[in-house]
Structure 1
C-alpha cells in the first residue's frame, strides 16, 4: 500500500506547492497483516504530506518473509530508499557495512531525552545513533487466572517471581488440569527463527549464560555452549519431554541446509492458551488484543521466572533508519521526527499494543500507565531487566544458529552437541569477517 500523495491530500480550495518543488522521500517497510501497523503508518504519511509543503513521503511495503533479503540486495547495488525499517538487531550489519548514516545530528535533543533508553541502545552502533523506533517490545508470561487458581498455584510478582524449582512445579500442576493440552504455550508455532532468539535467549541469560561474550563480541564458544547455557537448555528441553510444552516445530535438512518447519498451522485456532487449553503463554505484547478478546478478565500478565541470575527478558523491535545514499537525510529525519511525535506514537501503539517509545506517552497510556493492564512491561524496562540482543553485525548468524539449535533441542537432540555446533557456526562467521572491524 502506498501513502497518499500530496495531490491526494490537498483539497480543491487549498494552494498546492508547485510539483517541481515537491521532493519525494521513499520509505520501505515490512508487511503487516495482523495488527494494522501499516494502516497507521500510511495515515501518518498522509498527515505529514498534507502539512509539510515541499516533501512527499511514499511508502513501499515489502513482504516480511523477503524483506531482509530485498534490503540487502538494494544495499549492495546502491538502490536503498532514503528511509527503511530494520528489525532492531539486524540494523548493526547494515551500519557496519556503511549502508546507513547516523541521524542524531538531525533530531532535537528534547525528543531524544524523552525516548526510552532501551530504544536508544537498540539504535546505537559504535557509539552513534542510526535508528529510532516508535515502540519497544514486551516479553513476559501471559496467564489464565481461572486455570492458575484452579491449580492452586501462587501468582508471582516482580518482587517475588517464581524460582526455577517453583516454575517447574507450577508447569507440572498445570499440565494435569482437565482438558489441558499443555501447561504452557511456548510460541514455537510461529515458525520464526528470530522469535526463538528473542524469546528464548533470556532463558540462557537467566541461568548465567548468553548467546555470545559481550565484552568484544568476538566468540560464542565457551558462552553459548558453556555450562550455564547447557544447563539452561537442558531444563528447556525437559519442559517439552515432560509434556509441559508442546512441540510445534521440526528441523529438517534441505540441500544440506537446516530449516525450521511448522508441525501445525500458525493460526489463532491452534493457540492452546487463547482457547483455554494451556494456562500460560510465553509470548509478547503483540498477543494482548487477541488474548484479551478470548479470555477477558481471566487474562493476567506475569513476570518471567528467576532462573538463578535474576529476571531476564527481551526487548527491541522494528525501527527506522536513513540510508547512506539518501540525498536529503535532513528531510528523511524530519519525517522520522514526525513519526516520533507524541501523537503519532500514541496512534501506533493504540493499535498494536506495543510499549510506547517515549516516556511522556508511557505515562499517559491506558495500557502501560500506572494502572494499565500491561504496566508490567514498563516496570521491567524501568528496572533494567531487559537484555538487548547482541549489538554486533554477527547477529544474523547468531540468531539463525541459536534458533536451529533450539528447535533441535526441542525435538530431543543432545544439548551440548547442538549448542557447540551453533557456537562454531557463529565463530566461523566472525572469523570470516575478520572480527567485524570498523569500516
Structure 2
C-alpha cells in the first residue's frame, strides 16, 4: 500500500479520554507522557545491561504508544538484565516500506511491531525469528486462537499481538426504528434479502442521505482487503485458494466473488451506498444509517450517537456471517543480538494486565481470554462484546497466510476501486487474480526456506 491505511491512522487517533477513563476503571492508572525515544536502531553490545530496541508504528502522542511506554517503564523497573528503548514512529510515509528499508541496511530493532498479515512476507524474507521458545506455555494457552493463527507461519509462531480487531456494522437505533426494520443479532444476522430491504427502507427515512457508509474514504489501501474480504467470503468466494496459496484464479474471479462485487455495484447503483472520499463522518453526523467498519470507531461514535449507537454483525450473504481478523502485533527480528531479552519484554506485553491496559486505551479486542473476562468493553454485558463473540464462534477469517499478501492487497484494492467506479466486476477481478498469480510465479510461489 502507498500510505499507512486510514484504519491504522484512525486507531492511532483514539481519544485519550476514553483510555484514561477505562484505565482508571480497571485500576491501571493514567498514562504518562512518553519520554524521548533513544535513537539507536539495534541492541547495544558490551554493556552489563542489554538494551532492547523496540519500534512502534504509532506516534509518541498516541494512546497505544502511551500504553506500551508504561509497560516498558514497568519492565525496566522490575528487572536489571535488560533495558527497553522504545521508539515511536517519527516519519511520514509507509511503515511497511520503512521496515523493508531497515532490513536492507541492517538497522532493524530487536522487537518490531507490524500489521498482522505482513508477518508472512517478513518471515519468508528472513527478517524475523520464531518466538515460541520464549513464550510460556501457560501464556500461549490463554491467547485467542485467531491471534495464534495470525502469528503462525510454516508451523512456527513468529508473532503475537496484544489485541485482535473487530469488524461489523455500526447502526443508528433511531434510523432503524423509523424504518421499521428488524435489528439483527449475533444469533440472527440479516439475510441478504433482509439487508437489501433494510437499505431500501432506510433510504426513505427523513434525514438519511444514503443508508450505508462502506468506508470508501479509506482509499486504495490495505483496508479494502481487510474490510471487504468478508463480503466475498459471505457469498462463498475469497481472495485466493487457501489449501496451497498457489493461485487466485478461479477464486478471486470465481462466480461467488463476482456475485459479491455485483451486489456491491447494485447497492451503489440504487444509491444505498456512495463512494465518499472527502470525509469520513457521514455516519457520525447521522447522514448514513449504517457504517461498515471496525472497533476503532467506538469512542467517537459513542460520543456522537450516545444510546442510538448499535453494534451489529455483518449480514449472512448465504455462507454465514463472516468477519475479518488480525491487527498489529510483535515479532523478534532475526538480527536481534538479545532475543531472550526481547522475548522477556514481549511476554511482559502479553501479560493479562498489559493486554487489558492497551485494549482499554485503543478499544480493541483483548488478545487473552483472561483479559477479555475483565474488560469493561468486551466482558459480560460490555458494549463491544459482539466482536469477541464473532471471534470465539469462528466467524473471523484470517487474512491469507502467504508472503504474497502485499500483492493480494494491492490487486484487490485496485479491483474494488475500479468496480465501484463502474468497471465490469468479472473483468476487474480477473485482472486482479492475474496480477496476484504473476507475483506468485515471480517468487516461485514463495517456497519455504
Do the two structures share a fold, i.e. TM-score over 0.5? yes
1:417-428 equivalent positions in 2, closer than 5 A:
417-428=427-438
Q: Residues 237-287 of structure 1: CA distance to partner in whole angstroms, max 9, x if unpaired?
A: 211121111112xxxxxxxxxxxxxx414xxxx411111111111010101
Residue of structure 2 aligned with 1:238, choices 242, 266, 286: 266
Counterpart mapping for 1:36-435 below 5 A: 36-62=63-89, 63=91, 65-191=93-219, 193-248=221-276, 263-265=277-279, 270-435=280-445
Aligned residues: 409
Measure the CA separation in 2 of the matches of 1:5 and 1:173.
Answer: 53
Distance change (3 Å), C-alpha of 1:32 and 1:170: farther
What secondary structure is seen at the aligned counterpart in 2 of 1:131?
Answer: coil
RMSD: 1.7
Q: 1:41 to 1:332 in 2, by over 3 A?
A: same
- SS of the aligned residue for 2:170 comes to strand
Q: Is the 8 A contact 1:5 1:46 kept in 2?
A: no
With the length of structure 2 as denominator, give the TM-score of the two structures.
0.88
Distance 2:338 2:286 in 1: 52
Which runs of 5 or more residues in structure 1 are unaligned?
A: 7-18, 249-262
C-alpha distance in structure 2 between counterparts of 1:113 and 1:64, whole Å: 38
User: Distance between the aligned counterparts of 2:386 and 2:92, measured in 1?
Assistant: 29
How far has the Cα of 1:173 moved from its partner?
1.0
Change (3 A) 1:32 1:136: farther
Distance 1:194 1:32, change over 3 A: farther
Note the residue ranges of structure 2 that are not aligned, 5 or more in a row: 1-32, 39-45
How far does the alpha carbon of each residue in 1:320-375 deviate from its partner, in whole angstroms, 9 at most, with x for none?
00000111111001000010011111110111110000000101211111211111
Please tell me whether the aligned partners of residues 204 and 232 of structure 1 are also in contact (alpha carbons under 8 angstroms). yes
After superposition, the Cα gap between the structure-2 partners of 1:229 and 1:33, relative to the gap in structure 1 and judged at 3 Å, is farther
